[in-house]
Structure 1
Amino acid sequence: MLLKFAYQDFLDDRRFKNTSKINIKNYETLLGEFVSYCIKNEVVNVEDISYSHVRQHLSECQERGNKAGTINTKLLRIRAFLNYMVECEVIKSNPAKRVKRQKEDVKIDVFNDDQIQQMLNFYRRVKRREKSYFAYRDYMVIVTILGTGIRRGEIINLQWSDIDFMNQSISVYGKNRRKETIPITEKLSKELSAYHAFCKQHWGEVSDFVFVKRDNTQLTENALALIFRYLGQKMNFKDVRVSAHTFRHTFCHRLAMSGMSAFAIQKLMRHKSINVTMRYVAMWGNELREQNDKYNPLNSLDI
């Protein structure tokens, strides 16, 4: 089967299975890169793809500066495509299965208190000076993620009807398209309520979506990325990347540092497996030890 037709068939199958637009885009970008590599190297049929083609492509990606996490993501996309080809009986086995994942660094960056205050103060100043909706919107985007740990896709799809001010909770559709309810604090509830009142005053007619673009329509994935890129340029932090994921990791980090149980963190982060949560807890173990050394009750006892 011609590779270019197999690639399109695979994408059509993902769309038919209602795969999210973000994941479809990732397949188009990451898998498309592999397809282009194969065609460039005169591998035009799926049946001709070998273990060495997959490994060589990923090696070249590594030489171009791709980190282990990116390499592993690309490998997963290629494996999914070739698994589909096995299901369709185009090939007998998946050659990418023999390619091993790379070991990834376990360090995950989070924001410290000073960095968080610096970002919030930046938006407060702009909001006061310009009375800008966009400064208020961007401020509320980071406050909402810091207060809930919700993901990028959940932020852009969040609607006012998803927010229950009475019971202080929000509903989101998680990774598996499953509706999940997350508790929010009274503080965040008040912030969102004030923001809703501002939106009503600014737009006249409030959109269904909590975060909107200049034409009062739903914020897009690209527009959200531009928010964080702009903020990152303004902050110019040397040791941490300004992104939605870093805010989510910061939320998780603060929960772990507070002494919250791994089970409770799993529920708030909505990790599918407790093992994922435990990786985070283990990662920040040294900081937990430092906090314990500093605040342990035995420190103040004469024993």
Structure 2
Amino acid sequence: MIESFVTYLQYEKRSSPHTVEAYERDLTQLSEFLELSFEKEELAQADPKELRAWVIDLVEQGLSSTSVNRKIATLRSYYKFLLRRGEIIQDPTYKLKSLKNPKKLPEFVQEKSIASVLEESVYEDDFRGKRDRMVMEFLYLTGVRLSELIVLRWEDIELNQDQVKVLGKRKKERIIPITKGLRQNIISYQKVFEETFPKAGQSHYFIVSNSGKKSYPMMVYRIVRKYLDLFAQTSKRSPHVLRHTFATHLLNKGADLNAVKDLLGHANLAATQVYTHNSMEKLKAVFEQAHPKA
């Protein structure tokens, strides 16, 4: 019946060759397992316990939960196919549960490293240098997304109120306060910007290329990677790492979770709670302060 299922995927479901190959490989592996472990030659004869035994065997082989879950999805699709064809009277996958994927904590830059990244002496004293520093500083001190930074215009920067208007996901606007230090650096950057592009008005983009055109994702990625490479110890060096750093540093300093949620533009609190992990430095500090034997 594997051949019939493959034909169904190819011509009725119009699945991609990659998907068809993966499904066929998964079912062949299961068939071999059932024959060796339970002396069953037909997949249609498998019961829930035997399918669960295969899943356990996959885990013991060291397969990731993502890989195992994909194979479980193959089984569900296959046995639903058999059920519709009348080859079986009950779906044996009804008791199979997908494995929980371990949550990966977001990477962030340590405070000492971010201070080094933002040192003025690291950057050239020209438009490119001022622009690059502004990209790094703005991402870290506001927590905006890459997509939000790219569409930001000068008219969105309200220096007289020390705040910036950001257009986030689903066209939802939010207000983010800016520090006095960032305000002064924006003024400095604005001066160089206007000298370099004298015809640019308030409606012009805040971050631009060397020729004055609107920035683009890969340009910002290159800037962030260039300067994080100098000091940061994170394996990831992307604009989103600076957003992670913004949130983590705020929470490590005692910021209210709901306030951080609003600053990040998250729709619900669950998305923000991932940042409540502690840095090792904070854990050590708490341990040394609280443990009687520290």
Instruction: State the TM-score, normalized to the length of structure 1.
Output: 0.61
Indicate if the aligned counterparts of 1:110 and 1:240 stay in contact, CA closer than 8 A: no
Mapped to 2, the partners of 1:230 and 1:268 lie a distance apart of: 26
Say whether 1:267 aligns with 2:262.
yes
Would you say 1:223 and 2:219 are equivalent positions?
yes
SS in 1 for 2:118: helix
The counterpart of 1:279, out of the listed 271, 274, 277, is 274
Which of 109, 115, 119 is the aligned partner of 1:111?
Answer: 109
Q: Give the counterpart of 2:138 among 119, 134, 144.
A: 144
Q: Match of 1:144, SS?
A: helix
Q: Is the 8 A contact 1:152 1:221 kept in 2?
A: yes
Distance 2:161 2:21 in 1: 52
Q: How many residues align?
A: 218
Does the CA-based 8 Å contact 1:54-1:99 persist in structure 2? no
Secondary structure at 2:171 match in 1:
coil
| Match in the other structure for 1:13 | none
How far the C-alpha of 1:46 sits from its partner, in A, is 6.4
Separation in 2, partners of 1:134, 1:248: 22
Q: CA deviation at 1:155?
A: 0.9
Specify which of 13, 18, 37 is matched with residue 47 of structure 1.
13
Q: Match for 2:13: what amino acid?
A: E
Native 8 Å contact 1:232 1:241 kept in 2: no
One-letter amino acid matched to 1:182:
I
Residue 113 of structure 1 deviates from its aligned partner by: 2.6
The aligned amino acid for 1:53 is T
Matched to 2:246, the amino acid is: F
Offset, 1:125: 3.9
Q: Which residue of 1 aligns with 2:118?
A: 120
Q: Would you say 1:247 and 2:245 are equivalent positions?
A: no
Is 1:190 paired with 2:184? Answer: yes
**Could you tell me which amino acid in structure 2 is paired with residue 243 of structure 1?**
S
1:55–1:99 CA contact under 8 A, matched in 2: no
Distance in 2 of aligned mates of 1:231 and 1:159: 24
Residue 154 (structure 2) aligned to one of 140, 156, 160 = 160
Per-residue deviation at 1:214?
Answer: 2.0
Could you report, residue by residue, the CA deviation over 1:158-215 in whole angstroms, capped at 9, with x for unpaired residues? Answer: 1000011111111111112212111112221121122111111222223501111122
Q: Give secondary structure in 1 for the equivalent of 2:105.
A: coil
How far apart in 2 are the matches of 1:110 and 1:259?
A: 17
Structure 2 unaligned residues grouped into runs of 5+: 1-6, 27-63, 71-95
Contact 2:9/2:20 (CA < 8 Å) preserved in 1?
A: no
The answer as to whether partners of 2:113 and 2:231 remain within 8 angstroms in 1 is no
Q: Secondary structure at the match of 1:253?
A: helix
Structure showing greater radius of gyration is: 2
Q: Secondary structure at the match of 1:143?
A: helix
Deviation at 1:240, TM superposition (A): 3.5
Match of 1:204 in 2: 198
CA contact 2:108–2:248 (8 Å) conserved in 1: yes
Question: Are 2:109 and 2:232, in contact at CA under 8 Å, matched by a contact in 1?
Answer: no
Q: Give the CA deviation at 1:270.
A: 1.6
Is the contact made by 1:256 and 1:262 (CA closer than 8 Å) also made in structure 2?
yes
- Counterpart contact for 2:156–2:164, Cα < 8 Å: yes
The residue that corresponds to 2:34 in the other structure is none
Contact 1:212/1:219, CA 8 A, preserved across alignment: yes
In the alignment, the residues of structure 1 paired with residue 182 and residue 21 of structure 2 have an alpha-carbon distance, to the nearest angstrom, of 47
Task: State the TM-score, normalizing by the size of structure 2.
Answer: 0.62
Measured on the aligned residues, the alpha-carbon RMSD in Å equals 3.7
Higher relative contact order (CA 8 A, sep 6+): 2
C-alpha contact 1:159 1:210 (8 A) present in aligned 2? yes
For residues 122 and 223 of structure 2, the distance between their equivalents in structure 1, rounded to whole angstroms, comes to 17
**Shift in CA distance, 126/145, structure 1 to aligned 2, threshold 3 Å:** closer
Q: CA separation in 2, counterparts of 1:254 and 1:189?
A: 20
SS of 2:212 mapped into structure 1: coil
